Amino acid sequence: MCRELSLIILAVINNNLGKLILNKSISIDSPFSRSTEIKFVEDKLNIKLSNRTYGNMNPEYIFINGSTVKNVILNLEIELSPIELSSKIITIDNKIFKIIRHEILHIVEMYLTKKNEQNLSFSWEMGKRLQFLQNKYEKSKNWQDISYFIYLSLPHEIRSKVEELNALIESNRLKGILNVYDFIKTTKTYKDVEFLSTVDENIVLHKLKNDTQYQNIIKDFCEYFLKSKSDYEIEFLNYFKSIKKKNKKLIKKLLRSSYNFENYINFDNSDRIIKYSDYK
């Protein structure tokens, strides 16, 4: 579903790329109108040309009722190559495609969760709390870094990273499990996860203590983010231990993504003869 919806948005962008190049930024109403499984209402796509590739959407304003999703606003910044500017066409090779898939995965997750009559993922609530603390202590450099580690390890963000990695592999048109396996290890996604799976929680805490507002930060982290009034430092250390465990599991999941591309193995076994009797 994510890929199909992402291709719909890509087609909408291409249909309006000439207008975007002329005006530098555009807003498009009802970009998801071709969606068949999910009915989108009052959805909007905001695009602007940029020297970076970026995207976001605010889940807080999205309303879901049955098969209807209302108020999705997808914001994209696109960097175009000279060829894309000339041809007025972008493909899945443009980095924006994996960003689109990443954001749409969040929408689909919310939709499926609500459709299954569950509460919206607790992970999203944790994300809101974390964003509040990031804004509250925006001048605390070490906290900004550490809170980013926490953000990367939120369940909904982990799921999106897996989807984003698959999109990146597809866009690079890699062939062969071993080639994909090696490529995965070069990606920022993998390197972030590898780092978080081995990070020393005591060093992280030591870094946080260097922030002048440390006492307030760790108090808010425990009482507001974790909803716990236990020993603040112990709670912090335990939380980072859980982050390490999650990312160790995620490493294996990311590397297993290479097996999704087993049909692209670049060697030929079509003439191999199996001696069936050896297995009887």
Global pTM reads 0.62
Confidence label for 264 from pLDDT (cuts 50, 70 and 90): very low
Residue 239 has pLDDT above 90, yes or no: yes
Domain ranges within the chain, ordered by starting residue: 2-107, 122-264
Alpha-carbon distance of 196 to 183, in angstroms, equals 19
Let me know if 177 is exposed, middle or buried by CB neighbors in 10 A (0-12, 13-18, 19+).
middle
Let me know if 214 is exposed, middle or buried by CB neighbors in 10 A (0-12, 13-18, 19+).
middle
CA distances for 255 relative to 30, 99, 147, 168, 260, angstroms? 37, 20, 26, 14, 10
Confidence label for 265 from pLDDT (cuts 50, 70 and 90): very low
Confidence label for 261 from pLDDT (cuts 50, 70 and 90): low
